[in-house]
Amino acid sequence: MILVFIEVREGKVKRSSLEALSEGKRRADEMNTEVNAVFVGHNMEIFASEVSPYGVSKIYLLENSLFSRYSAQSYAQALVSLADEIKPGVVLFSASSLGKDLAPRVAARLGAALASDCTKTASKDGKLEVARPIFAGKAFVTFTFKSSPQVATLRPNVFPLLEPASKQAEVIKKEIVIPEDIIKSKVVEIIKEEGAELDVTEAECVISGGRGMKGPENFNLLKELSNIIPHSAIGASRSAVDAGWIDHQHQVGQTGKTVSPNLYLAFGISGAIQHLAGMSSSKYIVAVNKDPEAPIFKVADYGIVGDLFQVIPHLKEELKKIISE
Amino acid sequence: MNLYVFVKRVPDTESKIRISHEDNAIVEEGLNFVLSPYDEYAVEEALRIRETKGGKVTVVSVGPEDALVILKKCLAMGADEAVLVKDDAPESYDGLRVSKIIAETIKKKYSEYDLLLFGKQSVGADNSQVPSMVAEFLELPQVNVVVKLEIEGNKGIAHREIEGALEKVEFSLPAVISAQKGLNEPRYETLKGIMMAKKKEIPVITLSDLGLGEEELMSQLEITKIDAPPTRQAVKIIEDEPTEAAKKLAELLHSEAKVI
């Protein structure tokens, strides 16, 4: 059986968890087994209907009022107690911030190896085979597991969602006993960055600027584009971040984030090897740069050799027309 | 404060990665190895905590003898002690193995500690596993991907980066912290530091000193292959005036790529 951890953030089921669930369902079908979902939280019944359309057989709700604040220690304890009872063959998480924090703790407690941030899964002789980028995407390693259960986190934005179907799943609610003193860390506040609801790792379109942006004020041009393009986020090259033009949360590349959106727009980015590693698995890449020799054109699908300050305003108008239609 | 920082030797980020399909491994020959960039933030943070609260910074690396170079760098930055836990196993991308080694090192050799600091991931394996796994083995709280850290008495507050926001986390010591870019600006080694680091002896601990056998450390991930990234199609350059080029690009994104 494949068990998929479902994350709820700000009252919503995270899309990347549904992606992991969809991929889990595809593998479960091949392995002739079922896929089950697990929530950890408080009063989670309302979310069950959001995952049942993905072909789930059972939905486990692990409940305790302490779970309304995330703590890796308490969440891991809850998940491990369920795993000990139902013995899943595979446990999947989204490689979200929470998934990356929690999955290693769960795997360690289960004595199982973890494959992080996978971009591909397959079934091979009834077992899971996964592939994941190393060196931020300069190479890809493919693994099978010797330990059990097989635990993996799946990169957001890579795995397609299943077409939801009407299906009833069995909902199993369990009250989990957690001694309060095992929780030695807790989230006390969430501080939001203004205008950055969507992270570059989760966006369908990443609009990035580099040294060619010439200054922090010009990132407003990218924000204007982002206001037009749905599900987009602002990215940046390391040189723009190191110059202090934009916060490092936006940095794409080997010492920033690795992204694989449907569309990556690179403005004034030359394409250092570290940057290319972080974005070259994007589905479509557009580069606008003055220098025709810039390495970014080697990975781009479409390129404009020219001045980004002349291109962006026109591009904005053209895209506005298309999108409003 | 007893501060421990765990560091790894990795190829610098400029490296072109070559693959040996025969060995299912990265070709190490010709690579320039450095202290993993995120580990540098962890070392710097430990030094800053020591400077305000007093105490001792010990830097530990699990790896081959070549890792002595990065330990020397940490000493030159100002760490008090450095230790090598000698492990010659090739990279397996299995964080469980190194986590077991680190947890045993702490249990057997250093029972008194306040903070264990790591980089949020090693550059290369990109796993982000070891800090949380070590925290689990030692039953400690963890705060990963930290961009701000304050310690007061036996409590701490850390800001941790999540999607589009920061989580403010309260925790009790001892704890595991993993550092993200933005936490601080690492210092350069001073000449005096480099001279002192040269003289300092770096003790070497072996896996058998820790009572660990190869059997229990065996990688639980079986590498079937390592591939280069798929090659991308050649670029279509839109040669036109900016107005026209922008228009054509918008059309291509809409009707050809179908991403708009």
Residue A192: what pLDDT? 87
Token look-up 């980004």 returns A308
Structure tokens, A300:
């781009």
Strand partners, B85: B62, B205
ipTM of this predicted complex?
0.96
Distances (CA, A) of A61 to A6, A46, A47, A67: 10, 10, 10, 11
Token look-up 């480099």 returns B194
Model confidence at A299, in pLDDT bands (50, 70, 90)? very high
Q: Give mean pLDDT, residues A287-302.
A: 97
Q: How many degrees, rounded to 5, is the angle at CA A245 between CA A240 and CA A251?
A: 50
Residues in chain A: 325
pLDDT for A261 beyond 90: yes
Strand partners, A40: A62
pLDDT for A196 beyond 70: no
Choose among B184, B96, B175: nearest CA to A109: B96
Contacts of B140 (CB under 8 A, 6+ apart): A184, B116, B134, B174, B175, B176
Distance CA A249, CA A197 (A): 12
How close is the nearest chain B Cα to the Cα of A132, in Å? 10
CB contact under 8 A, B232 and A136: no
Q: Give mean pLDDT, residues A264-290.
A: 96
Token look-up 């697990």 returns A38
Residues A160-180 pLDDT 10s: 999 988 788 999 999 999 998
CB contacts under 8 A, A 84-143 vs B, are: 96-98, 100-105, 107-109, 111-117, 129, 131, 133-143
CB contact under 8 A, B246 and A133: no
- Dmax over CA atoms of chain B, in Å, equals 70
B221, B92 Cβ separation under 8 angstroms: yes
Return mean pLDDT, chain A.
95
The DSSP secondary-structure symbol of A257 reads B
How close is the nearest chain B Cα to the Cα of A54, in Å? 25
Burial of B230 by CB count in 10 Å (0-12 exposed, 13-18 middle, 19+ buried)? Answer: exposed
Return mean pLDDT, chain B.
96
Structure tokens, A6:
């479902």
First to last CA, chain A: 45
Distance CA A40, CA B87 (A): 38
Provide the pairing of β-strand A2-6 with A35-41: parallel
CB contact under 8 A, B252 and A302: yes
Token look-up 């203004």 returns A194
Residues B19-67 pLDDT 10s: 999 999 999 999 999 999 999 999 999 999 999 999 999 999 999 999 9
Q: Which residues of B touch A143 (CB under 8 A)?
A: 93, 221-224
Nearest to B133 among A104, A249, A285 (CB): A104
Model confidence at A195, in pLDDT bands (50, 70, 90)? low
Residues A84-111 pLDDT 10s: 999 999 999 999 999 999 999 999 999 9
CB contact under 8 A, A108 and B99: yes
